[in-house]
Amino acid sequence: MAASLGFGGSNAADKTSATVGQSAAQPSYQGPAQMLDDHRLTPASISSLEVHGATNTRRSLLDHVLKPVVEDSAHAGTTLGQVLEHVGAATKKLARFDIFKEEGFGVFLSEAPRPDSALPTDRTELDISIRVKEKSRLVFSAGTDFGNAEGSAYTNAVARNIFGGAETLSVNASTGTRTRSAYNATLSTPVNGNPDLRLAVEALRSATQKPWASHEEQLTGGNLRLAWLTENSDSHALAYSTVWRQLTSLAATASPTVRADAGDSLKSSLTHTFTRDRRDSPMLPQSGYLLRTVSELAGWGPLNGDVSFAKTEVEASGAVPVAIPGLAAQSGVSVGGGLRLGLLYPLPSGYSLSGAAQPSRINDRFQLGGPTDVRGFKLGGIGPHDGIDSVGGDVFAAGSVNALFPLPRTGPESPLRLQLFANAGRLVALNSKGKAKEGREGLAMDSATVFKGVKSAVGELTNGLPSLAAGVGLVYAHPVARFELNFSLPLVLRRGEEGRKGLQIGVGIKFL
């Protein structure tokens, strides 16, 4: 019902109650909507607009959102329906600041008392009052988290609306199965009173074990990030980050490749991330698609730093529900697929494009394989291996197809599915095969060698069948994370790659 008034959409707005004062219409509660429907085309304008309950919020922030509402409604031809739409849009916008309680929104309309001296008009003058409840400004929480292939425990403190402009400071400390320790603090603020355009600055420090390559990586750094949502709810983020990486605490069995990359490096990079998520559910997508691109430029030009490359990754996945003939309701059966591609191109440092470039390090290269990635392989199981270490590659392609079936007893509504899948991947490292070694003193490669290397690595992707595994399993889509228990067998492998025969458990929020 509310939706017909233009209040639909976000959770907060769904709960918004539109109540119209006595002076405007019938007092009965079910009446207003109908009355409003009848009067949608009545000319109307806003006489006053008040916000109650935003005691800690700066007026300028509210002005950014509400001034346009008043101004837009000042035109002669404005109808009641339009006014309500504007107010509805504004409350939705307020809700996106994440400083007001979702259930606390209330919008009240009443006809402004007309001074006796005023000329009678057929325009309805409205007094609008928006009631909000601010969320608590300081929140502490602790809990457990599931990232990809890792569980962790965290404590988190959030200070909301610090300066009254919907600024948020979030301080987080966590420790997990792989992350020995991680601390970060993020201060984020809407730009220009727009909740869909946020600027954030973050400082972070972490130590993460990388057992697939026998080392631990310690990160210390920060980033500055501008994120925005477009009209069609695509999200973009542009970030500058600088991070000091220290590859240390090598296992006794660490391979020569990992030893050669141990030590310090500073990455200074610009990253653009684009996400279009049109899936019905992120944990158990049964229809819709996801498109994601990540592009990173590190070290080149004014960025400096110790590593220099361009890196890009594209991910596309989608699912279509399968109707079963003769069954009117949703069958719960769906077929899905995903494709991921990535490329790292070493660049010369400085402003040159043709200068000598350093080949990639292990912490910049891609890893592929694992229960949430290419199933049927160990974590980092695909691609170049030095002994037991998965040392990563510069070019990769991975794809999967799967079919989801509801379990006989539970039906399509339940978050349980039976899954059939086949997935494949190929991860290749840039390698000049020592051709240019003679006459080359150091590690650096000239631009022609880099180009040839990348080209041959890309060509290598389609040399033979990709490393391939197939299997069957159970999927449980919990709102927090997706759990999979799969039985799979590797069909095609490269020597050194680590497939996993038999059962494999996957817990994560992102699956191929």
Partner 1 sequence: MTSIPPTAPSSWRKMQIPRPLQQLFDRFPLLTYEANNLPERSQHLTSSDLPTLYVFSTDRDAGLGLPSFNPGCLKWQTLLRLAGLEFRILPSTNHASPTGSLPFLLPPRRRNTTTSSATPPPPRPIPASNLLAYALQQQRQQQTPSLDFDLDPDLPPRSQAYLSLITLSLRNAWLHALYLDPSHTPLLEQLYIRPSSSSRAVQATLLYQLRRAAAEQISSSSNKIVSIATVDAVDEEEAVYAAAREALAALASLLRESGSGWFFGAERPGAFDAALFSYTHLMMEYMSSSGEGSVEGAGGVALGDMVRAAGDGGLARHRESMLEAAWPGWDASK
Task: Work out how close the CB of 372 gets to partner 1 at its nearest, in angstroms, rounded to a whole number.
Answer: 14
When the beta carbons of 20 and 428 are compared against partner 1, the nearer one is 428
d(CA 287, CA 401): 14
Task: Work out how close the CB of 460 gets to partner 1 at its nearest, in angstroms, rounded to a whole number.
Answer: 8
When the beta carbons of 143 and 464 are compared against partner 1, the nearer one is 464
Please tell me what DSSP assigns to residue 359: P
Q: What tokens were used for 454?
A: 């990348």
* Residues linked to residue 297 through DSSP beta bridges, in sequence order: 270, 310
Task: Work out how close the CB of 209 gets to partner 1 at its nearest, in angstroms, rounded to a whole number.
Answer: 15
When the beta carbons of 409 and 495 are compared against partner 1, the nearer one is 495
Question: Tokens 């060698």 label which residue?
Answer: 449
What is the Rg, in whole angstroms, of the alpha carbon atoms belonging to the chain? 28
Encode 440-461: b = buried (16+ Cβ within 10 Å), e = exposed: eeeebbebebbebbbebbeebb
When the beta carbons of 144 and 155 are compared against partner 1, the nearer one is 144
Sign of the four-CA dihedral 358, 364, 370, 372: negative
When the beta carbons of 279 and 482 are compared against partner 1, the nearer one is 482
When the beta carbons of 200 and 429 are compared against partner 1, the nearer one is 429
Instruction: Give the number of other Cβ atoms within 10 Å of residue 401's Cβ.
Output: 15
Task: Work out how close the CB of 381 gets to partner 1 at its nearest, in angstroms, rounded to a whole number.
Answer: 10
Q: What tokens were used for 404?
A: 């989801």
Instruction: Evaluate whether 286 touches 322 at the Cβ level (below 8 Å).
Output: no
Instruction: Evaluate whether 73 touches 153 at the Cβ level (below 8 Å).
Output: no
Task: Work out how close the CB of 173 gets to partner 1 at its nearest, in angstroms, rounded to a whole number.
Answer: 21
When the beta carbons of 50 and 264 are compared against partner 1, the nearer one is 264
Task: Work out how close the CB of 503 gets to partner 1 at its nearest, in angstroms, rounded to a whole number.
Answer: 4
Residue 102, C-beta contacts closer than 8 angstroms, at least 6 positions apart: 11, 12, 15, 95
Q: What tokens were used for 174?
A: 């966590």
d(CA 250, CA 240): 29
Instruction: Give the number of other Cβ atoms within 10 Å of residue 140's Cβ.
Output: 9
Q: What tokens were used for 150?
A: 């890792």
Sign of the four-CA dihedral 448, 240, 228, 98: positive
Task: Work out how close the CB of 394 gets to partner 1 at its nearest, in angstroms, rounded to a whole number.
Answer: 7
Task: Work out how close the CB of 441 gets to partner 1 at its nearest, in angstroms, rounded to a whole number.
Answer: 7
Reference 18, options 76, 64, 80; nearest CA is 80
Q: What tokens were used for 40?
A: 């949608």
When the beta carbons of 143 and 502 are compared against partner 1, the nearer one is 502
